[in-house]
A and B are shown apart, each in its own frame.
Chain A
Amino acid sequence: MNPQLSRRRFIKAVIASSVAAASTSGINQAAAQGNRPRGSVERLISININGQTRRVDVAPQETLAYTLRYKLGLTGTKIGCNRGECGACTVLINGVTNYSCSTLTHSVRTRTVRTVEGLQAPDGTLHPVQQAFIDELSPQCGFCTPGQVMSAVALLEETPQPTREEARQALSGNLCRCGAYDHYLNGVMRASGQNS
């Protein structure tokens, strides 16, 4: 993970999401008007998701979380707040964690997107983070778990042997109301091959 890039994207996402937060429509409009392409918009676009190119009809103001969940059936990505607060919708865009509820789908056309559905090996073997989260009984209700998994994956790809404090900072954009933070950190440390 590149913390600076992540932070910049995060701030941009929050600015965009404030527009959505002010609206009661909630579900799929994260776009500031200024981000919308001028003139006609090509709606049928290709997106690289989990290593596959997916063709999908996308409205100009559509968020990535909306496209993933409601058009591509990738419901592992959860929408907890739809305003860039909770991290349940975290996906990796070019390997960097992003809140997909605050990301316009049109903005990822030239980038690669990874979701929780893209982590398992073709033979079904779980990603080390997923396996470690099971071994440490990390999730409770599980609603925030896909987001926690994606943040942990991004961290370990950038920093394979993080300290517990580094893991804590890296996952701090992901809320868990059950309070399973300790167990998630145990999972990250186990996935990195270290004692928790």
Chain B
Amino acid sequence: MSNEYKLIGKDFVPPDITGKVTGKAKYAEDFRADGMVFARMYTSPMAHGKVTSINTEQAEAMEGVVGILTAEDVPEVTAPDAAILTNTPAYIGDPILAIAAETEQICEDAMATIEVEIEPLPFVTDPLDSLVDGGPNARTEGNAYARSREGSGFQTIKWSQQQVDDFRAGKEPTGDFVSEWSYGDLDNSFAEAELVIEEPFVTIGYAHMSMEPRTAMAYWQNGTCYVHGSSQSQSYFMPGLARMLGVETKDVVLISENTGGGFGSKIGAYPIAALPGYFSKKIGRPVQLRVTREQEYYMGSARVGFQGWIKMGFGADGKITASDVFIIEDIGPNATGGDASSAGGAISMVYDPSAMRFRGLPVLTNTTPRGAQRGPGQNQIAAVMAPIMDKAAKVLGIDRVEIRKINSTNNDTIVYADRRPVTSAYMDEALQQGADMFDWQNRKNQPKKKGKKVRGLGVGQGYHSAGATGFDGLVRLTPDGKLHIHSGVGNLGTYSFASTSRAAAEVLKCDWERCEIHRGNTENHLPWSSYQAGSVTIFSHTRTNYVAAMDALDKMKRIAAQTMGGEPGDYDIDGQRVFLIEDPAQGMSYGAIAARAIQLGGDYSGAVYPDDIHEITQRAVQNIAGSGLIGVAKDNLHQEGVIPGLAVAFCEIELDLETGKYDILDYVGIAECGTVIHPKGLAQQMKGGAVWGMGMAGLERHVYDPQNGLPANIGYHQCGIPTYLDVPSVTKTDAVNIADPQNPFGARGIGEPAMGCSVAALQSAISDALDGHIFGRTPISPDMVVNHVMGRDQSFLPLQTNNF
């Protein structure tokens, strides 16, 4: 595509934003249906157990109670997968039954009469407590669960007390693990190293805390289940939801116009999204289920926690020769993780060691279910790595930015265990741009200490793969001359459903005012689109909209040639017209072309469509066939190698040595995500990601009471969500803005690296303020700083989780 874009790279007013500022935007709970009743859940008061009896007699007799749903009414699932309702709860908050009633108050009154007997089973809240010989297992089937292409399954893995003690003491783990990958000659690479650094680390898991409590409302009409849900993704959510409901995808309609945050917790269908569907089928009335804020902490989801050890080898020139990392990941009760291997991949991508080994051990706990959370794995390891890079720079006498540049990802970098190329990468340029914008050279020469306050400068790097392929695009030109862009991308607040739709308008040189986006409801005839997660949308759906628009363009020229003579290649487009290149006065308006497409039928009008498009797209095309000129295609564009989203951040903090608290004085974030598609949207992601990184670095954590398995912090402020007063009033961002060759517009995604660079920069700055001390832990709380300054032991064991 040309660099002279009319829409790409320009700001615009997204169509959904007015509804957000006026309150007219509807979220799942804002919908009502005739005859609707409310559902509430009885959830497990025990961290692990077996339900032996349930007595609902009194509840069922209460006026206003409409029905009871138990595990017998929903599909049984095999452990450790999450059930909609269960008789073997594996954490406090695991749903056991639900009550439907005319009001939520009646639900609660009825709930108080329910008698449930549960036989307690052993439970555990810290992976190391399960791993040690004689420690409890979170599931009766075992304490570890490996998911792999070769086969998944439970394992029981135990380490001796000495092995656990040595691990806590920072020594290389010698106990069993379940997964491993490597490349290069690790031993030789360490032998060649001038400097070897070994560090233990722990990153505490914490809740997603989306502002909108999860809600789903469902009813059935003629065999179709209508679900008003809280979902990050739109089309991608549906196959999983249909599976959970026990129906075919064609028999589900998902309405999800707006979602109040997801951050990885609502990518695909989750069990309670299907609960109202079952309940509605059972009682014959629409059912709405809304979880409370407290329940969000019990049963919502959380970031995977890490307990690990890393060894890094550096040459005298600062080049990383080798990396050896061992990660125990807390995968909660449902074995949802995979963060650890992703963290290993991120080391390979961002620091490019000549040789590397990853070993992983996913351990089950009876805590809140874990799930992907913004940069799952990549962002935990970004926090771990930053102070280690700083330490190496200090020992080797290299500038801290320079050592990162020496190891920076570029177009020739080969990554991961299978040594894949990257589509493009400009980490060096990002670091330089950030250093210039932040004035790194001058700032690092400023005095550090002023009384009890000490300044710290930080630099951090973030990464996440940022693109996926194989999804579909669908556009439609109608006789009124409008371009309709059908998007199955979800809406969780990035506006990428709109910014990627502009790719189609760009190709067709269509005025944005004459474009309409159809989204947010299956019945709006939406194509198969990617998950709205993993930083993929910008890359993936500029491509799908490009191929759909190119298909439309081809058809428009063919229609013009058929109607006015000549060959399709004789025609071009502009000004909402298809015209003869040799005589631009001869042409047809877009409206006339669309009308002609309807007359011609066949592939022009959607009566015929490519056979490689997804069944969801096929149904969408079938439903709009004959209403205009249809452009539809699967993204089969060339793609090879890893698509990186990269970001760097610089920050300055002022740390009070007496209180352990710090203020973030300045922050600069630089995105390296190819061509900038939507400048304000990018800035917003970079700044929002920065806030997330600041939360992870110093504030956010889950704490479980190990004696009872109870979550101890079940409120926003207890969990440390960043507020206006925890973050700088102004954060500065920019982008490298160099096109990626594997996207028609040069774009890649950025949402997750935007956070990773921030948490890394903060950890780096705190370490810098404390003369290079490495806590090896997120979050770093004020008491930890004070203990360190005073030379006291910390108030928790090394690598311990659930600390206050």
Which A positions have Cβ atoms within 8 angstroms of B?
21, 24-29, 74-83, 85-86, 88, 115-117, 119-120, 126, 129-130, 133-134, 136-146, 149, 164-165, 168-169, 171-172, 174-183, 185
Given contacts A164-B729, A181-B687, A183-B684, 4 further A-B contacts (CB under 8 A): A24-B294, A75-B26, A141-B211, A175-B721
Is B175 on the interface with A (CB-CB < 8 A)?
A: no
With a cutoff of 8 Å between Cβ atoms, the chain B residues found around residue A185 in the complex are: 724, 729-730
Closest CB-CB distance, A11 to chain B, in whole Å?
Answer: 15
Closest CB-CB distance, A191 to chain B, in whole Å?
Answer: 11
A172–B729 alpha-carbon span in the complex (Å): 11
Assess A145 versus B20: contact at CB under 8 Å? Given A134-B13, A137-B680.
yes
With a cutoff of 8 Å between Cβ atoms, the chain A residues found around residue B212 in the complex are: 78, 80, 141, 143
With a cutoff of 8 Å between Cβ atoms, the chain B residues found around residue A25 in the complex are: 104-105, 108
Docked-complex contact A85 and B493, CB < 8 angstroms: no
With a cutoff of 8 Å between Cβ atoms, the chain A residues found around residue B210 in the complex are: 141, 143, 177
Interface residues of B in 121-152 (CB under 8 A from A): none
Closest CB-CB distance, B374 to chain A, in whole Å?
Answer: 10
Closest CB-CB distance, A48 to chain B, in whole Å?
Answer: 18
Query: Who on chain B is nearest to A101 by CB?
Result: B293
Query: Who on chain A is nearest to B716 by CB?
Result: A85
Docked-complex contact B260 and A165, CB < 8 angstroms: no
Q: Can you report 6 A-B residue pairs in the complex whose CB atoms are below 8 A from each other?
A: A28-B105, A80-B212, A80-B213, A116-B21, A140-B492, A168-B725
Assess A175 versus B687: contact at CB under 8 Å? Given A81-B715, A142-B493.
no
Docked-complex contact A175 and B211, CB < 8 angstroms: yes
Docked-complex contact B211 and A86, CB < 8 angstroms: yes
Assess A141 versus B259: contact at CB under 8 Å? Given A25-B105, A81-B715, A178-B688.
yes
With a cutoff of 8 Å between Cβ atoms, the chain B residues found around residue A134 in the complex are: 13, 17-18, 21
Is B25 on the interface with A (CB-CB < 8 A)?
A: yes
Docked-complex contact B725 and A172, CB < 8 angstroms: yes
Closest CB-CB distance, A62 to chain B, in whole Å?
Answer: 10
Closest CB-CB distance, B669 to chain A, in whole Å?
Answer: 11
Per CB-CB distance, the 9 closest pairs between chain A and chain B, nearest first, are A76-B23, A179-B691, A143-B260, A142-B20, A141-B493, A140-B493, A179-B688, A116-B23, A143-B211
Docked-complex contact B22 and A76, CB < 8 angstroms: yes
Docked-complex contact B716 and A182, CB < 8 angstroms: no
Docked-complex contact B731 and A182, CB < 8 angstroms: yes
Docked-complex contact B692 and A139, CB < 8 angstroms: no
With a cutoff of 8 Å between Cβ atoms, the chain A residues found around residue B721 in the complex are: 175, 177
With a cutoff of 8 Å between Cβ atoms, the chain B residues found around residue A146 in the complex are: 21, 23
Is B723 on the interface with A (CB-CB < 8 A)?
A: yes
With a cutoff of 8 Å between Cβ atoms, the chain A residues found around residue B727 in the complex are: 179, 181
Docked-complex contact B260 and A180, CB < 8 angstroms: no
Is B689 on the interface with A (CB-CB < 8 A)?
A: yes
Interface residues of B in 5-28 (CB under 8 A from A): 11, 13-14, 16-27
A142–B259 alpha-carbon span in the complex (Å): 8
B293 CB contact (under 8 Å) in A81, A117, A171 = A81
Docked-complex contact B211 and A139, CB < 8 angstroms: no
Assess A137 versus B688: contact at CB under 8 Å? Given A78-B27, A80-B212, A82-B292.
no
Docked-complex contact A180 and B293, CB < 8 angstroms: no
Docked-complex contact B21 and A139, CB < 8 angstroms: yes
Is B341 on the interface with A (CB-CB < 8 A)?
A: no
A120–B690 alpha-carbon span in the complex (Å): 33
B692 CB contact (under 8 Å) in A74, A133, A179 = A179
Give B311-335 as 1s and 0s: 1 = Cβ < 8 Å from A's Cβ atoms: 0000000000000000000000000
With a cutoff of 8 Å between Cβ atoms, the chain B residues found around residue A74 in the complex are: 23
Give B663-683 as 1s and 0s: 1 = Cβ < 8 Å from A's Cβ atoms: 000000000000000001101
Query: Who on chain A is nearest to B731 by CB?
Result: A182
Is B209 on the interface with A (CB-CB < 8 A)?
A: yes
Assess A144 versus B211: contact at CB under 8 Å? Given A27-B105, A149-B21, A179-B692.
yes
A69–B689 alpha-carbon span in the complex (Å): 31
With a cutoff of 8 Å between Cβ atoms, the chain B residues found around residue A139 in the complex are: 17, 20-21, 493
Docked-complex contact A177 and B293, CB < 8 angstroms: no
A175–B716 alpha-carbon span in the complex (Å): 9
Interface residues of B in 727-741 (CB under 8 A from A): 727-731
With a cutoff of 8 Å between Cβ atoms, the chain B residues found around residue A142 in the complex are: 16-17, 19-20, 25, 258, 260, 493
A28–B728 alpha-carbon span in the complex (Å): 36
A141 CB contact (under 8 Å) in B30, B261, B722 = B261
Closest CB-CB distance, A192 to chain B, in whole Å?
Answer: 15
Closest CB-CB distance, B132 to chain A, in whole Å?
Answer: 36
Docked-complex contact B688 and A75, CB < 8 angstroms: no
B724 CB contact (under 8 Å) in A77, A117, A140, A181 = A181
A144–B14 alpha-carbon span in the complex (Å): 18
Closest CB-CB distance, B538 to chain A, in whole Å?
Answer: 15
Is B639 on the interface with A (CB-CB < 8 A)?
A: no
Is B717 on the interface with A (CB-CB < 8 A)?
A: yes
Assess A130 versus B717: contact at CB under 8 Å? Given A82-B293, A144-B211.
no
Docked-complex contact B724 and A85, CB < 8 angstroms: no
A126 CB contact (under 8 Å) in B22, B493, B681, B684 = B22
A138–B710 alpha-carbon span in the complex (Å): 37
Closest CB-CB distance, B109 to chain A, in whole Å?
Answer: 8
A117–B521 alpha-carbon span in the complex (Å): 25
With a cutoff of 8 Å between Cβ atoms, the chain A residues found around residue B105 in the complex are: 25, 27-29
Docked-complex contact A120 and B22, CB < 8 angstroms: yes
Closest CB-CB distance, B541 to chain A, in whole Å?
Answer: 18
With a cutoff of 8 Å between Cβ atoms, the chain B residues found around residue A81 in the complex are: 293, 715-716
Looking at A25, A133, A142, A144, the one whose CB has the most chain B CB atoms below 10 A away is A142
Give B593-613 as 1s and 0s: 1 = Cβ < 8 Å from A's Cβ atoms: 000000000000000000000
Closest CB-CB distance, B66 to chain A, in whole Å?
Answer: 17
With a cutoff of 8 Å between Cβ atoms, the chain B residues found around residue A115 in the complex are: 23
Docked-complex contact B723 and A28, CB < 8 angstroms: no
With a cutoff of 8 Å between Cβ atoms, the chain B residues found around residue A176 in the complex are: 211
Query: Who on chain B is nearest to A181 by CB?
Result: B724
Query: Who on chain B is nearest to A165 by CB?
Result: B729
Looking at B211, B716, B730, the one whose CB has the most chain A CB atoms below 10 A away is B211
Query: Who on chain B is nearest to A136 by CB?
Result: B680
Is B263 on the interface with A (CB-CB < 8 A)?
A: yes
With a cutoff of 8 Å between Cβ atoms, the chain A residues found around residue B691 in the complex are: 179, 181
